[in-house]
Structure 1
């Protein structure tokens, strides 16, 4: 009898583990699945959304043409194409039980916690999430090739294999929760972005602190094969960078000058992040930024990395088991163009207990619901987490997190809008409420108001690599030193 080599044993172990673990799909699109996807005349859109409307007519069919720029819109302020519409109805603490089948657990928790102030104005549904054709072509090409890496089945490593240049949503027909989570992370928000943002912090007494930050991002994963950025070693290691992000604090004065920059990669989801600390005048590695349940940067410890964009892996190896995603009709914040008006002041947005419901628009949409549970033997602030992703864009729209005692703890909603011109979709704001301590925070968005306050103007969404207007060295430890001040 021949003895197995250690390499052979490892290979057999990988195969057996992948076969025995439930809910993990390693296969790329089949020919039958591929035939269901397309820009026109198919059952599903290229993103995997159901093309048709619902039977009741309350959700319309999807239109593949990107929305034109409405009259009055500028690069510094969004125009609201639905400004003349009136709510169909309003959900309050007095009638929410009549709509329970289309509400999230987080929304129900907010109605119970704030019965006198929280409400939802529900408007007609508009499926505005339609990108330029190249985004869909990239998605179709990527989905034919990409797979979850073998190490996901054996060691819960967050990585892909066989991915190709040019971007694309990897799994438009998700077979597992991990695939749905990946789709959400890769949701297209532009090749690059440069903007002023505000991460408002509101305490239990309703007092607010505005944390104004300049944010710069690039998404090398979405760049073409001949891209110069893809040829730079820093962005092309470990299977290409998925996201490179940098925040430079402008206000409050005590934190001004603090800046970080870094990237995470297709085969290494840990953020390779570096921080410049003004008082020390040096750059140090900051592994805590972007890591699992560590406090989100500039959040006063009130939110974790795991709730960024309503869901985030947060590390090289996931600590959660994901249920298979399900599609459901839910009232979610959508088409929130009012929040993109630079003249809407912060005082009218931020209430004492939560975001002012008079400035938020809700619509009925089909969303993917992703439940996750902490793995046995792992540690995390959240024992359970549920995230909701828009089917047309894969953007996060809501989440709820539970503590170790299974109490509903933190709930959030994200205020997205499609931005015509660059033809991308993304958040204009969000809200995360701690139902236990009574505080709420916002992830740094509100880019049009923050841009006006700082004299920066609106966000600069980049659709072409040559239009990037900032120094991309800010994402590297060597280049970060150039940006430090004080």
Structure 2
């Protein structure tokens, strides 16, 4: 069994210029509870009203940490993990017990996620048209969030599979693979994402006779011996159809078909390609899904200091783990979804549990 934590935070946070929180539609439209929890540790949703955008900020820049002056409320480590385990995943508990240098600094919770008006309009439309058919396939999807208040695990996982990443997106990402001895393999690549069909909410759809859902291109920029390696992956609206993937190798100067990177395939240090930090990938029908409801958990959130430009490897990574001083944890409500692998399906894991932020 593998438990994994997915928080789609940086990609989904949209600071809609010219729209105040009072004008924005309620966060409950996407299935979140806008109110605080019983203890007040989770505040009511506030949108970006208290998250001012610097006057000299330009799109594409790193957004400065608006909470840089806050201090941790408390710290969780191997000595007190049992006290807090009800608000931790099994993997978090194991991590703290195994890596005794690692700890979790818990900060005040902020609920600043906000989307553009077109996003909320698409959600409203989905309420009228979107459903899962008898074959387990999603129908009537209009972008944004498919089923804001899922009634079962299958509906919940479709929200993950069809999450909104913007009509188009470009990013430069840095990955560090850390060995137990502390050695670090650093890779930098440029990612470009183009969405198709109804998944575009702010611009007109492209002609889409092939039923494409999304195209993702990953171009390696560093290290020098891998520079120019280029992947193109095409995923389809029909989730029963495997992704198509092409690979360009500059040493051979040719393009080759690559195996599908969905499901349990591994690529350059990833655990599996269906938990690579963007979405669940692969066939939804390979798993029996169960919705376990919502749960309050300490999760990595508003980690602006993990994305500082030009940071050194040792500033972000230690041997076996991240530098805990660069990771911010907050208490948030998450949807809990459990998948059990169906008999006869091949995958490295027989069970998986995902925790998905209610606000994003």
Q: CA deviation at 1:288?
A: 2.5
Higher normalized helix content (fraction of residues) = 1
CA distance in structure 1 between the partners assigned to 2:190 and 2:260 by the alignment: 20
CA distance 1:133–1:391, change in 2 (3 Å)? same
CA distance in structure 1 between the partners assigned to 2:344 and 2:313 by the alignment: 43
Deviations 1:408-429 (CA, angstroms, capped at 9, x unpaired): xxxxxxxxxxxxxxxxxxxxxx
CA distance 1:310–1:343, change in 2 (3 Å)? closer
Q: Match for residue 314 of structure 1? A: 282
CA distance 1:319–1:92, change in 2 (3 Å)? same
Q: Match for residue 41 of structure 2? A: 58
How big is the alpha-carbon RMSD for the aligned residues of Structure 1 and Structure 2? 2.3
CA distance in structure 1 between the partners assigned to 2:313 and 2:289 by the alignment: 37
Gap runs ≥5 in structure 2: 1-22
Deviations 1:100-155 (CA, angstroms, capped at 9, x unpaired): 1111111101011112x110000000001111222111111123201123322xxx
1:82 and 2:60 correspond: no
CA distance 1:197–1:237, change in 2 (3 Å)? same
CA distance in structure 2 between the partners assigned to 1:97 and 1:150 by the alignment: 43
Query: What TM-score comes out, normalization by structure 2 length?
Result: 0.86
Which of residues 87, 92, 101 is equivalent to 1:102? 87
Q: Match for residue 460 of structure 1? A: none
Q: Match for residue 295 of structure 1? A: 266
Runs of 4+ in 1 over 3 A off after TM superposition: 38-41, 64-68, 70-75
Q: Report if aligned partners of 1:311, 1:387 keep a CA contact under 8 Å in 2.
A: no
Q: Match for residue 187 of structure 1? A: 163
1:270 and 2:242 correspond: yes
Indicate the SS of the match to 2:285.
Answer: coil
CA distance in structure 1 between the partners assigned to 2:36 and 2:273 by the alignment: 35
CA distance in structure 2 between the partners assigned to 1:212 and 1:344 by the alignment: 13
Indicate the SS of the match to 1:134.
Answer: helix
1:214 and 2:190 correspond: yes
CA distance in structure 1 between the partners assigned to 2:121 and 2:24 by the alignment: 9
CA distance in structure 2 between the partners assigned to 1:93 and 1:283 by the alignment: 49
Larger radius of gyration, structure 1 or 2?
1
CA distance in structure 1 between the partners assigned to 2:301 and 2:252 by the alignment: 43
Q: Report if aligned partners of 1:170, 1:183 keep a CA contact under 8 Å in 2.
A: yes
Q: Report if aligned partners of 1:260, 1:273 keep a CA contact under 8 Å in 2.
A: yes
CA distance in structure 2 between the partners assigned to 1:248 and 1:39 by the alignment: 37
